[in-house]
Structure 1
Amino acid sequence: MTRGPTTDGETDLARRRQVDAFVQRHFTWRGTLRLHRAALGADILRAPVNVLLSPAHVTVRLTGWICRGLRLRRTADFLLRRQILLRTAVSARVEAAILTELLAAPPAEGEALGDRTALARAILSAPRFREAARSRGSIAAAQAMADRIAAAITEYSGARSAMAEFTTALMTLVAGAIVLQAVTPGMISMAAGVAESVSLKRAVADFPLGQTLGGVWYGIFPAGLSPRLVAAVAAGLMLLGSVITAFAGAFADVVQAWLGMHRRRLLRLLDTVEAETAASPGKPFAASEHLLARVFDLSDAALSLLRIFRG
C-alpha cells in the first residue's frame, strides 16, 4: 500500500527511505527520461513562454512573501495562489507521482491534473486527508488547506522547471565561452556574437578581391551588422533554447539527485504538508531556484543592453 506523509507512528527514518525510493524511481537516468517523454509536444512551445513569464512569477512570489511577513494574510494568500507559469506535461507527471506515491492522494482515474484546482480536489477526496479536512470545521477552511498543499506541490514542480532553465543558461554560457570567447548567460546576449560571425563570413565570401584579402580587410574594418539579422538570429536561438530547456531537466534531475537536492526539497515539501494537516502551518514551501534562474536572465538583458549602447 502506498504510504502517506509522516504520521505519529512513522519514524523520520522511514520517511527518508520513502523519499529516497521516490528520487531513485523518478530522478535517476531511467526515471527522468521516462518523465521527459511527455516533453515531446506542447512543452516545447510552453518553455519559451514560461521563460518570458518567469520574472512576473518571481515578482508576484516575492510580493506575496513580503505581505505575509507584514501579516497581510489575505493579500499574501491571493498573490501566492496565482498561477503565472504555464503548466507543462512533465510537471503534471511529477505532481501526479507526488500525490500518488508520497501523499497517498491519487487523482481520479482518467482525471488530468490540468491546474491547481484539480490538485486540491484530489487532496480533499483522499482518505489520508479527510480527517484533517473535517477538523477545519468548514468547507472554506478545508478548501484553503487543500489549496495551500496544492500550491506547495506546484511550487516544487516549478523549481524543477527553473533548474532546467538554469541548466540551459549554463550550457549557453559554456558554448559562448568556447565558440565566441564571450560571456553569454542567455540566448539574447549570444545572438549578437553569432550574428556578427555570420555577417563576417558573408562579407568575406562576397569580397570582390577574394576571400583571403576579404579576411584581411574585414579584420581591420569590421563588417556592418544588420539589426534584422540580429533579430532573426535571436529568434532562432530562442527557439533552440526552448527545445533544450524542455529536455534539460533530465540532466538537471540526475545532478540534483546525486547532490541530494531533490531529497532535501521533497522532505521540506512533506514538512509543509504535515504542518498543514496538523493545522499548524508555518512558513509556506518556497523554492529559491526561481531566483537563481532569474539572475541569468537579468545578466543576459544587462549584457545585451550594454552591447547595444556600445554599438
Structure 2
Amino acid sequence: MDAPLSPVSRSRIDAFVRRHFGVLGSVRLHRLAVGLDLLRAPANVFLSPLLVICRLLAWVLGKLGLRKAARWLGTRRLLMRTTVAARIEADILRDLLGIPLPEHAGGPSREALKQAILSAPHLRNSIGQRATPAAAEAMADRILGALAEYSGTRSAIAEFTTALVMLAVGALVFHSLTPGAISMAPGLAEQVARNSAIADFPLGAWAGGMWYGLFPSGPSHRLVTLTVIALMLAGTVVTTFAGLIADPIQSAMGMHQRRLTRLIDTIEAEIAELPERPFVAREHFLARVFDLWDAAMSLLKVFRG
C-alpha cells in the first residue's frame, strides 16, 4: 500500500495558498478569466441554485433509503468548468499531491488529469491493488469529482462576495440593505428617473429639484426591469473576478487552508481504500442565503408599496 499522502501534502498547503491565493497569485490566476470564463462564470451563477436543489433532493433520497439514486443525484456536476478551475485542479495535483503534470496555459482537460493520476509513479502500488482496471478508473474519477467539488466552491464564494459588494453599495448609496440586483434595482431606478426628470424640467434643473423634492415621481416598470437586467449583467462581471478580493481574505482567515485539508483527507481515503470521506462544498448553500434575503426584501417592498 502506498504511503499516506497527508503528511507531505499538508506540509505544502500553507506555501500553496501563499503562492496561488495571495494577492499576486490571485492576480496571476484571474488573468485566465479573461476569455470564455466571462461567459462560463455568469452561467454558473444561474446553475448554482439548480445544484443546491439537486443536493437537497439527494439528501432527502438518502434519508428515504434510496442510496443509489441519492448518490447519482449528489454526484451530478452541473457547473461549467472554468479555465481558472482547471488551472487550480492541475496545480493541486501537481503541487500538493506530487502527480507529474506538464505546465499548461489554461489547465489540462479532465481526461488528461485522469491519465496523470492513473500513471503517477507513487500511486502505482495502490492502483495495482484494485481488482480491475475499471475499479482503478473509478478511483481516479472520484478523485476528480472531489477536485471538481473543491474548484466549484469558487463559484459560490464569488457569488457571496458579489452579494457583499452589492450590500455595501446599497448601504452607502441608498442607505438600504440590498443583497442583490432585485432589491437594489428599485432604488437605483428611482434615482435615475428623478435625475432624468430634473434635467428635463422646463424651468431648469434648480426648479426641477425643488418640484420633484415636493412631488416625487416613481420609476416606470420598464425602467425597473432594465435596471435589474443591467445590475445582473454587472454582477456577473464582478462575480468572474470576485476571487481577487475573496482569495487573499480567505487565505488570511485560514479558510483556504482548512478547505484544502479536507480535500486532501478525501483524496487520501480514496487512494488508501479507507472509509469514504466525501468532500462536500457547503459554500453553495451559503450563497443561497443572500438569494432568499434578496427575494424576501423585494416581497416586503411590494407589500409595503
Fold match (TM-score > 0.5): yes
Offset, 1:15: 3.8
- Note the aligned Cα RMSD (angstroms): 2.4
Question: Given the superposition, is the C-alpha separation of residues 119 and 308 from structure 1 closer, same or farther in structure 2, using an over 3 Å criterion?
Answer: farther
Residue pair 1:20, 1:263 contacting (<8 A) in 2 also? yes
Give the 3 Å change call, closer, same or farther, for CA 134–67 of structure 1 in structure 2.
farther
Residues 223-267 of structure 1, C-alpha deviations (whole Å, 9 max, x = no match): 131122112222222221111111110221111111111111111
What secondary structure is seen at the aligned counterpart in 1 of 2:278?
coil
Distance in 2 (CA, whole Å) between partners of 1:193 and 1:49 is: 26
State the 1:309 CA deviation: 4.3
Give the residue type in structure 2 aligned to 1:7: A
| Pairing of 1:2-151 with structure 2 (within 5 A) | 7-8=3-4, 12=7, 14-68=8-62, 72-107=66-101, 116-151=110-145
The answer to whether residue 268 in structure 2 is matched with residue 239 in structure 1 is: no
Q: CA 1:242/1:83 → structure 2, altered by over 3 Å: closer, same or farther?
A: same
CA contact (8 A) 1:156 1:269 kept: yes
Q: 2:150 aligns with which of 139, 147, 156?
A: 156
Q: Deviations over 1:155-210 (max 9, x none)?
A: 11111221122111111100000001111101222111111100011112222333
Per the normalisation by structure 1, the TM-score is 0.88
Query: CA shift at 1:305, angstroms?
Result: 3.2
Say if 2:9 and 2:264, in contact at 8 Å, map to a contact too: no
Q: Are the equivalent residues in 1 in contact too, given 2:180–2:294 (CA < 8 A)? A: yes
Give the alignment partner of residue 263 of structure 1, picking from 226, 233, 257.
257
The alpha carbon displacement at 1:56 in A equals 0.5
Checking the alignment, whether the CA contact within 8 Å between 2:62 and 2:70 is kept in structure 1 is yes
Structure 1 runs of 4+ aligned residues shifted over 3 Å read: 65-73, 106-122, 308-311
In structure 2, C-alpha distance between the alignment counterparts of 1:97 and 1:198, rounded to whole Å: 46
TM-score (norm 2): 0.90
Q: Which of 171, 178, 181 matches 2:172? A: 178
| Structure 2 spans left out of the alignment, 5+ residues | none
Q: Distance in 2 between matches of 1:251 and 1:245?
A: 10
Call closer, same or farther: CA 1:191–1:148 in 2, change over 3 Å. same
Q: For residues 82 and 298 of structure 1, what CA distance do their matches in structure 2 show?
A: 24
Contact 2:149 2:280 in 1 (8 A): yes
How has the CA–CA distance of structure 1 residues 37 and 171 changed in structure 2, closer, same or farther, with 3 Å as cutoff? same
How many correspondences in the alignment? 304
